[in-house]
Amino acid sequence: MPKPRVLIVDDEPSVRQSLTLILKDQYEVLAAATGQGAFDVLTTTPVDVVLLDILLPGMDGLEVLEKIKQRVPSPQVIMLTATKTVKTAVRAMKLGAFDYVTKPFDVEELLLLVERAVQSAALVQEVEHLRAEVGQRYSFENIIARSPKMQEILRTVARVAPLKTTVLITGESGTGKELIAKALHYHSPRAHRPLVTLNCAAIPENLLESELFGHERGAFTDAHARKLGQFEFADQGTIFLDEIGEMHPSIQAKILRVLEQGEFIRVGGNQPIRVDVRVIAATNRDLHEGMREGRFRLDLYYRLNVVSIHIPPLRERREDIVPLVQHFLALKSRELGIPEKTFSNEALDLLLGYSWPGNVRELENVVERAMVLSPHRIMEPSDLPEYIANPRQTQFHPAQQSVLRGETRLSEAVDQFEQELIRRALEQAQYNQTRAAEILGTTRRILKYKMDKLGIRPEGPEA
């Protein structure tokens, strides 16, 4: 295993020599006498830790530090100073220095500090490697988009991604709004910074403000300590606010302030906190209807809707169905550890003819279900759910027929129809109510309300 690499930057030859002697047994040591010499090394050779003197000829150490920390990835930097000046040390730490040591060096202290910096550098490199892998997953080549509508969306993403522009993504539940949000982030200059995702519909109304903006100790009964909000975690990066149409107008006003002024106040606090965050929002709701009904702020809508991307439902881009099926067949084979399978032409015809109310998410679930339950390598129509395999039999719902025969009132038939839809969605989602709500294109709160109203009891693990 190669030794970690340390670069010493100091204009005094005696300092470079003594540090080399101290470090050479454990590390590969490089040296430079000036800031420009350091950049010459860093341009050609990856380095884990830099020992950087503050007083250098030409470009001083703090200026060199600032430029080093702008590199991606950047090594950890330990500042070397002859005088322990608090002001200088604080500025160095603000610029991103790992730590600082004072000349003359305590050898044990220096070795311990370099070891800690090397470990930190290894962790940073691992995170960067994972980020690169995740970014590759959301590259344009890996997004299934054969239809003209999706191709146009990817062209829009490519144009908008490098900018800080706020984006509003609309479309039915399950169409892939989060996928597009991640593509926007990972094709932007912020790709190496955090992407924070928050589902506004999944967090109770009374907790959402604290989740977004954090709170101070004592702000409410259970606030035993200060908590940072998601906007602070997303600083210098991107925040994706999914299902923003479910957000209460009072919190919408605080989101508007962040968009307009780049600042917010924690719950129970009084000091504004500044952040640099790109906002991407998504909704499956009609925000125009929400504005008419007073549930969504007009001013926030126009701040969010700088660039609008509407993802069409799967039934309007059938060219994508077969490539998506092939993608999910390969993906589920890897994830589940089972041999690859395929669908017969008859089964594919049925998949192409189905309306997919749950969109891409429903298609993924259907493919996974067939792969798990079918013993055959080539899966036939009989391996598909009944409502897809026999569409003619499900063309007219029994409740519809009873209404037409005058046997049932319309309101009762609607309840019966809703009951069956909800039960079918719960079964398909293995009784996970959040997933069932997504299949039905609604929120978990509304689903729970309907279940209580219709007397539907959960039968899975949530029971």
How many angstroms separate the CA atoms of 383 and 366, rounded? 10
How is residue 115 written in tokens? 């070891």
| Average pLDDT score over the chain | 86
In 3D, which of 321, 301, 305 has the Cα closest to residue 313? 321
Burial class (CB in 10 A: 0-12, 13-18, 19+), 153: buried
119-131 per-position pLDDT tens digit = 988 887 776 666 6
How many angstroms separate the CA atoms of 20 and 347, rounded? 69
Which CATH number applies to 138-312: 2.170.120.20, 3.90.550.10, 3.30.70.1140, 3.40.50.300? 3.40.50.300
Range scoring the smallest mean pLDDT among 14-18, 172-176, 221-225, 294-298: 221-225
Q: Who contacts 211 (Cβ-Cβ below 8 Å, separation ≥6)?
A: 198, 203, 229, 230
Q: Specify whether the CB–CB gap between 65 and 57 falls below 8 A.
A: no
User: Are both 5-127 and 316-454 of the same fold?
Assistant: no
For residue 104, is the peptide bond before it cis, meaning its omega torsion is within 30 degrees of 0?
yes
Range scoring the smallest mean pLDDT among 12-16, 237-241, 455-459: 455-459
Domain boundaries, the chain: 5-127, 138-312, 316-454
In 3D, which of 314, 331, 316, 369 has the Cα closest to residue 347? 369
Q: Is the pLDDT of residue 463 over 50?
A: no
SS3 of 180, please? helix
- Annotate 45-61 with b (16+ C-beta within 10 A) or e (fewer): eebbbbbbbbebeeeeb
Q: Specify whether the CB–CB gap between 84 and 129 falls below 8 A.
A: no
Type of residue at 39: F
Give the percent of the chain with pLDDT over 70: 89
376-431 per-position pLDDT tens digit = 999 999 999 988 988 665 444 455 445 444 555 556 666 777 888 888 888 888 88
Helix (H) or strand (E) holding 348: helix 345-353
| Strands (E) located in 89-128 | 99-102
The fold for domain 316-454 equals: Helicase, Ruva Protein; domain 3 (1.10.8)
Cα distances (Å, whole numbers) of residue 4 to 41, 48, 69, 124? 15, 6, 19, 14
Q: Is the pLDDT of residue 211 over 80?
A: yes
**Maximum average pLDDT range among 143-147, 298-302, 446-450:** 298-302
The fold for domain 5-127 equals: Rossmann fold (3.40.50)
Sign of CA dihedral 273, 278, 284, 287: positive
266-300 per-position pLDDT tens digit = 988 888 999 999 999 999 988 999 999 999 999 99
